[in-house]
Amino acid sequence: MAARRWELDAHRRDTLADMDPIRFTGRVVRRVVVIDSEMTVREVSIYDFDSKRAAAAKLRTVLSITT
Q: Residue 37: inside a domain, yes or no?
A: yes
Strand 40-47, strand 28-36: pairing: antiparallel
14-58 pLDDT, tens per residue? 887 777 667 667 788 999 999 988 888 999 988 888 899 999 999
pTM over 0.75: no
Q: Residue 16: inside a domain, yes or no?
A: no
Between CA 44 and CA 33 the distance in angstroms is 7
Look at residue 31 in the predicted model and tell me its pLDDT: 92
Q: Residue 29: inside a domain, yes or no?
A: yes
Q: Which domain holds residue 28?
A: 24-67
Number of domains composing the chain: 1
Q: Residue 17: inside a domain, yes or no?
A: no
Look at residue 14 in the predicted model and tell me its pLDDT: 82
| Cα 32–chain centre separation | 11
Q: Residue 60: inside a domain, yes or no?
A: yes
Q: Residue 18: inside a domain, yes or no?
A: no
Look at residue 65 in the predicted model and tell me its pLDDT: 80
Local structure of 50: helix, strand or coil: coil
Q: Residue 41: inside a domain, yes or no?
A: yes
- CB-side neighbour CA atoms (13 Å) of 32: 14
- CB-side neighbour CA atoms (13 Å) of 33: 5
Q: Residue 48: inside a domain, yes or no?
A: yes
